[in-house]
Amino acid sequence: MVDIKMKNASDNRIRVLTASRSSDALSGFEQLLATQPGIQLYARHIVNGTVDPLHGIHEVPDVLLIDLSHDWQKQLAALSAHPVSQRPPIIAVGDEGDARMMREAMQAGARDFFTHPCSKGELLNSIHHLVEENRRSGAAVSAHLTAVINAKGGSGASFIASNLGHLLAADLDQKAALIDLDLQFGTLPLYLDLTSQTTLMDALAVADELDSVALEGHMTQHHSGLHLLPSMSDHLGLPWEIPEASLKRIMELACHNYQQVIVDLPRQIDPLTSSVIEHADTVLLVMQQSLTHIRDAKRLLQLFTNELGISHDTTEVIVNRYSEKNPISLYDIRQTLQRDELITIPNDYRRVSESVNAGQPLYENTKGAPITRTLQRVAQRLAGTTEFKKENVLHRAVSYLFT
């Protein structure tokens, strides 16, 4: 295995990482590419128990060229575990006629697929095409991807998602995108008083033709600078009608073009929502103080961990409309969900109702309100500008809590 070195600032060569469990396959890649001008080639013989081609790599290569032979499914699963923003463009090489291998490679993020033996000219063209496409789409920008989902319907996830997106753009000067994945009942434009001409469904229909500039053209811009991609359209969107590859393309472009991407998810686990959750840097699970909310939140957390393989540290539980007077205490929630840390959003029915009815985010008219300050701190956490402080909620009735 050849170690990956840091690229010199003046070195404009394309860094290609070749990876395989077969030394013969690596030698074949080297014969094709090693003498090519403008290409800096590294080889990784995947051994010593790891199946992850990117294991221990500190600088993401421009292209990953991977041979899929022994343990190819485990290799693809390891690649899929990396956030989209931390995965290089992938070219996979596998056996001819293996449709399953090709399909799973594309699901893991492969942008091109070749069969043995590779054509040198076609392989070089693919490498240069992917690098140029990534550069055009602003691949230097790596977004923080946040998924927001209700534990139970009506918990307030859409309101929180829209206000966090607005705060990231208006208060923290982040280039932020807000994407609504509720194909049938998306409501995000109402929270921002926006009317959209194009929707997520429109973008998905032409996903293969989009680059980052074209995707931004499908967005509706709020005066704060926040970009919104709503979901509702005249067509009834059904999750199984949407190709996963199309949504993946939209998410990749968004993560390349924005600093912050917030996705408002419907309360369901299907191939579309699970794809976003699996690649999210942060998953915000929104609940309220009731037994049914606790039951459903526990169920979702179990699904995240057991079925989707989501790390405990990736998920944060938000207790919305929190009140000390509620008989369901934070202690009850922590014990049942087995969470040491919770985020509380104080109950402020009047201000929230006024905000929703007017289509004006809280930060525009109620900057000093406790609920606004709480959401500011959550947004700051997503932007990496601050950390939640530990507080005793028994002594602070209206505050954020991360304890």
What is the reported pLDDT for 8?
44
Neighbour order of strands in the sheet with 63-67: 39-45, 14-20, 63-67, 90-94, 110-115
Alpha helices in 184-285 (DSSP H): 188-192, 200-205, 212-218, 244-257, 271-279
H-run or E-run covering 11: none
Q: Where are the domains of the chain?
A: 14-136, 144-383
CATH homologous superfamily of 14-136 equals Response regulator (3.40.50.2300)
pLDDT of res. 11? 52
Q: Which residue is associated with the tokens 């700051």? A: 380
Q: Give the pair of three-digit tokens for residue 151.
A: 């534990």
Q: What is the 3-state secondary structure (H, E, C) of 103-139?
A: HHHHHCCEEEEEECCCCHHHHHHHHHHHHHHHHHCCC
Q: Which helix (H) or strand (E) holds 76?
A: helix 72-80
What does the alpha-carbon distance between residue 227 and residue 219 come to, in Å, rounded to a whole number?
6
Query: What's the pLDDT score for residue 40?
Result: 85
What share of the chain in percent tops pLDDT 70? 87
Query: Smallest Cα–Cα separation from 136: which of 217, 208, 212, 209?
Result: 212
Which of these CATH numbers, 2.40.170.20, 1.10.3720.10, 3.40.50.300, 3.40.50.880, describes 144-383?
3.40.50.300
Phi-psi region of 103 (alpha: psi -120 to 50; beta: other; left: phi over 0): alpha
Taking a C-beta distance cutoff of 8 angstroms, is the pair 189, 226 a contact?
A: no
Angstrom distance (rounded) from CA 170 to CA 386: 17
Contact between 285 and 151 (Cβ < 8 Å): yes
**Strand pairing report for 227-229 and 220-221:** antiparallel
Hey, what are 8's tokens? 């010199």
Q: Which residues contact 125 (CB under 8 A, 6 or more apart)?
A: none
In a 10 Å sphere around its CB, with 0-12 CB exposed, 13-18 middle and 19+ buried, how is residue 122 labelled? exposed
Amino acid at 247: L
Cβ neighbors of 315 (< 8 A, separation 6 or more) are 282, 283, 284, 285, 301, 304
Give the C-alpha separation, 315 to 339, whole Å: 10
In Å, how far are 74, 107, 138, 146, 238 from 272, measured between CA atoms? 22, 12, 24, 15, 11
Q: Give every strand in the sheet of 220-221, ordered side by side.
A: 220-221, 227-229, 176-180, 260-264, 144-150, 282-287, 315-322, 343-346
Domain 14-136 identical in fold to domain 144-383: yes
C-alpha pair distances (Å), 237 with each of 183, 201, 278: 5, 8, 22
The answer, as to whether pTM is greater than 0.85, is no
DSSP states along 121-189: HHHHHHHHHHHHHHHHTTTT--PEEEEEEESSTTSSHHHHHHHHHHHHHHTT---EEEEE--TTT--HH
Backbone angles phi, psi at 120, to 5 degrees: -60, -45
Q: How far apart are CA 41 and CA 24, in angstroms?
A: 16
Nearest alpha carbon to residue 254 among 227, 283, 282, 220: 227
Task: Give one DSSP letter per residue of 263-277, joined into a string.
Answer: EE--SS-SHHHHHHH
Residue ranges, the chain, pLDDT below 70: 1-12, 48-49, 85, 134-141, 232-240, 386-403
